[in-house]
Every structure is written in structure tokens, then in C-alpha cells.
């Protein structure tokens, strides 16, 4: 009896306690909600902060990302022969604009992702770092001096590496590049013609200029002309180190007769993009960017962790049952011919899987 009473009282107490608790919690949440929304806080911000913390490299360094190997089931019947052939025929040197404080936080991740697909990759900085490797250019560091750094970088590439590649690509340390698509676009052009490609802004000079963030690529003849004709003549190319890098480059290349090429695909869809993929895909006011080629080459403002995500999405993940190939009809005839006669190097016999 006594025990029963206690239990009954306990139940009443329990119910009261529970009610108080519920009221308290809801009041607390409502108050916090009012307080936080009035200070601009929202669940989106909380999510954003969570992501930011989860992606803080200092707290959570990026673990080794698995290379895709021909033995993985989804890649066993992959045929890379056309890409491999283009790797040899359309050699791309990539140089990446970086700075000492970004060597660890950004440049390293470029090298670990898309950078490794360039025939050669060089990081242009103001400090030497053999692990990247980065070059210590004789220029002052800072946003103000990017034009000076760009000139010095191309001068360096010309002096030391011009014979090691056919095309010379400038990117930032937050550019993401699908190097195979870059080679595919270039396969139709002769590097002995002075040319350059990229995302074109129609400003500052009649033919405009190519966005520095989306990256731009010069033929060997364009590089030669830039270094030997443009740089020595300050009437043609700005002589000091100040100025907006890509706009100065645009003016300079125009003055020395290097045309800004149409870099869109056969459906007139853009290949180089000065912003992130989501912005180009989803924002209607950005339609003017001719979004987006299935053979897109580059995007800008890509954070290091997103480079790994893109690498996974582009090079690993496969929608099962869809074979997507390399249509050699979009290659120049000579190249397509030589590729058509290649022994098709199947990495494995598809029918032999499991
Ligand atoms: C620089 O270029 C301008 C314009 O083409 C030309 O008139 C001038 O002679 C050049 N100067 C030198 C030193 O080559
Ligand atoms: C590859 O697949 C074909 C067709 O199924 C089969 O005849 C052949 O024996 C396989 N070759 C190997 C090496 O497994």
C-alpha cells in the first residue's frame, strides 16, 4: 500500500516533471530561436559551421584518397587508350599561381588531385618548396603584384621548360581542371600558331581577356611571342608589376597578335568557368556563361576538399550500366586516324569480371 502510494505519487510527480520539462524545453528553444534568428543565426549557419569544422584541415587532415585502380569492379572494363594517346600528343604544362601561406593548405591538394594529370606541374610562389615543387620567383608577394608574378612565371617556364610541353596552362590554386578535356579541346589546334584559350570576358580590350581564375592556356607560339615580343616592349605589355593579372595579359596578347579563341564546345557550351559548378548550373542570371559543356575543362573558387569530391565524382563514381566512351569523331582527322588504329587497350576483359 505504502509502496503503491509512493509509486502513484511518483507517477504524478513524473508526469508533472515531464510536463514542466517539455514546457521548459519548448520555451527555451523558442527563446533561442527568436534570439538566434534576430542575430542572423539559422540552421543553415549551424550546418555551414559544422561543415567548416569537419573540413578544417588542421583538425582533420585529409586522409589519403584511394587512387582508382583498374582492378576496381567499376573500372575493370575502362578503356583509357584515347586519353593516354592524347597525353602523349597534346602535352600540357600546368603552372599554378600560389603563395607561401597556401603551399600546405591549397597547392598540395591541387597536386594530389587534378595537378597530377598534367604532363608537368609547377607551382609559382615566392618561396622555394621542393616537395611541391614551388619556384621562388623574384617578385614581391601580394595581390597587387600578380601581373608581375605572371610575367615572371611565364618567363621561367619559357626559359626552363618550353621544350617539355606543347601548351602552357596558367591556373590558380583554387582552380579545378579536367585535364583530359583540355587536351581534347586542344587536339584540333596547332601549337605553332599563336593562340590562347579560356573563359573570355569581353572587357578592357576589343577581344577581351581570359579569366585568370578559370585558367587560360597558351600555345607554344603564343608563349614564345609573349616572352620575346611582348615582355621587352612596354608599349605592348605593361612594364611594371601592378595591374590586374588577367586583364593585362588580355591587352598584351591582343597587342602582339595572339587571338583569344572561342573555347566553347561543338554545341556552343562553355568549357572554362570563372565560378563554381553550382553557380553556373543553377543561377539563371549567369546564363550568359553558356553553361556547361559535358567536356568542361575548369571551374574556379574550388576549395581543396571539394577538389577531392570532384575527383571522386568525375574519376571514380560510375552510373552502373552506362558505357560512356571517347567519340573520336570530335578529334582532328589525323589524330583520330592514328588513335583508331591503336590496339584498344582494355584494362581487363569485361566478361571476366567476378
Ligand atoms: C614597341 O612596340 C611598338 C608598337 O608596335 C613599336 O612602335 C615600337 O617600335 C616597339 N619598341 C621596341 C623597342 O621594339
Ligand atoms: C574475354 O571475353 C571473351 C568473350 O566473352 C572470351 O571468349 C574470352 O575467353 C575472354 N578472355 C579472357 C582472357 O578472359
pLDDT digits (tens, 9 = 90+) for 126-143: 999 999 999 999 999 888
User: Cα separation of 77 and 94, whole Å?
Assistant: 30
Best substitution site from 350, 351, 353 to test ligand 2's pocket, by max atoms within 8 Å of Cβ?
351
pTM here is: 0.78
> Which-ligand-closest: CA of 234?
1
The verdict on the CB of residue 233 being under 6 Å from ligand 1 is yes
| Residue 351 pLDDT grade (very low, low, confident, very high; cuts 50, 70, 90) | very low
Higher pLDDT pick, 198 / 10 = 198
> Which-ligand-closest: CA of 255?
1
User: Cα separation of 208 and 196, whole Å?
Assistant: 12
Give nearest CA residue, ligand 1 atom 6: 235
User: Cα separation of 233 and 75, whole Å?
Assistant: 52
Burial class (CB in 10 A: 0-12, 13-18, 19+), 341: exposed
Query: Residue 91 above 90 pLDDT?
Result: yes
pLDDT digits (tens, 9 = 90+) for 239-296: 999 989 999 999 999 999 999 999 999 899 999 999 999 988 887 665 666 889 999 9
* Dihedral of alpha carbons 235, 240, 241, 243, sign: negative
User: Cα separation of 231 and 225, whole Å?
Assistant: 9
Give nearest CA residue, ligand 2 atom 5: 351
Best substitution site from 349, 350, 353 to test ligand 2's pocket, by max atoms within 8 Å of Cβ?
349
For residue 68, give Cα distances in angstroms to 294, 345, 351.
Answer: 21, 17, 20
The verdict on the CB of residue 235 being under 6 Å from ligand 1 is yes
Whether the upstream peptide bond of residue 133 has omega within 30° of 0, thus cis, is yes
The verdict on the CB of residue 252 being under 6 Å from ligand 1 is no
Closest ligand 1 atom number to CA of residue 255: 5
| Residue 344 pLDDT grade (very low, low, confident, very high; cuts 50, 70, 90) | very low
Query: Residue 20 above 80 pLDDT?
Result: no
Predicted pLDDT of residue 330: 72
What value does the mean pLDDT take over residues 229-248?
95
Give residue ranges with CB within 6 A of ligand 2: 349, 351-352
Amino acid at each position: 500500500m505504502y509502496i503503491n502510494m509512493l509509486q502513484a505519487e511518483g507517477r504524478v510527480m513524473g508526469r508533472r516533471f515531464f510536463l514542466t520539462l517539455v514546457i521548459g524545453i519548448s520555451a527555451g528553444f523558442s527563446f533561442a530561436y527568436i534570439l538566434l534568428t534576430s542575430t542572423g543565426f539559422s540552421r543553415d549557419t549551424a550546418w555551414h559551421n559544422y561543415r567548416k569544422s569537419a573540413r578544417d584541415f588542421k583538425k582533420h587532415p585529409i586522409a589519403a584518397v584511394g587512387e582508382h585502380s583498374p582492378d576496381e569492379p567499376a573500372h575493370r572494363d575502362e578503356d583509357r587508350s584515347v586519353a593516354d594517346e592524347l597525353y602523349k600528343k597534346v602535352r600540357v604544362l600546368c603552372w599554378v599561381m600560389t603563395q607561401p601561406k597556401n603551399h600546405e593548405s591549397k597547392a598540395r591538394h591541387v597536386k594530389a588531385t587534378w595537378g597530377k594529370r598534367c604532363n608537368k606541374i609547377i607551382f609559382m610562389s615566392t618561396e622555394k618548396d621542393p616537395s611541391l615543387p614551388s619556384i621562388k620567383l623574384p617578385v614581391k608577394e601580394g595581390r597587387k603584384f600578380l601581373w608581375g608574378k605572371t610575367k615572371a612565371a611565364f618567363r621561367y617556364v619559357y626559359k626552363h621548360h618550353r621544350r617539355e610541353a606543347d601548351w602552357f596552362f596558367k591556373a590558380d590554386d583554387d582552380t579545378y581542371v579536367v585535364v583530359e578535356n583540355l587536351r581534347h579541346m586542344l587536339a584540333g589546334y596547332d601549337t605553332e600558331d599563336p593562340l590562347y584559350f579560356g573563359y573570355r570576358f569581353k572587357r578592357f580590350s576589343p577581344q577581351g581577356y581570359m579569366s585568370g581564375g578559370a585558367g587560360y592556356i597558351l600555345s607554344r607560339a603564343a608563349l614564345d611571342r609573349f616572352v620575346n615580343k611582348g615582355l621587352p616592349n612596354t608599349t605592348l605589355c605593361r612594364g611594371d608589376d601592378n595591374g590586374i593579372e588577367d586583364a593585362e595579359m588580355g591587352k598584351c596578347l591582343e597587342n602582339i597578335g595572339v587571338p583569344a579563341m572561342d573555347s566553347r564546345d561543338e554545341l556552343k557550351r562553355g568549357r572554362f568557368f570563372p565560378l563554381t559548378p553550382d553557380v553556373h548550373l543553377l543561377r539563371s542570371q549567369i546564363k550568359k556563361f553558356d553553361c556547361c559543356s559535358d567536356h568542361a575543362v575548369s571551374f574556379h573558387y574550388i576549395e581543396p576538399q571539394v577538389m577531392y569530391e570532384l575527383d571522386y565524382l568525375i574519376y571514380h563514381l560510375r552510373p552502373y550500366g552506362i558505357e560512356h566512351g571517347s567519340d573520336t569523331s570530335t578529334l582532328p582527322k589525323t589524330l583520330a586516324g592514328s588513335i583508331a588504329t591503336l590496339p584498344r587497350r582494355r584494362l581487363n576483359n569485361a566478361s571476366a569480371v567476378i
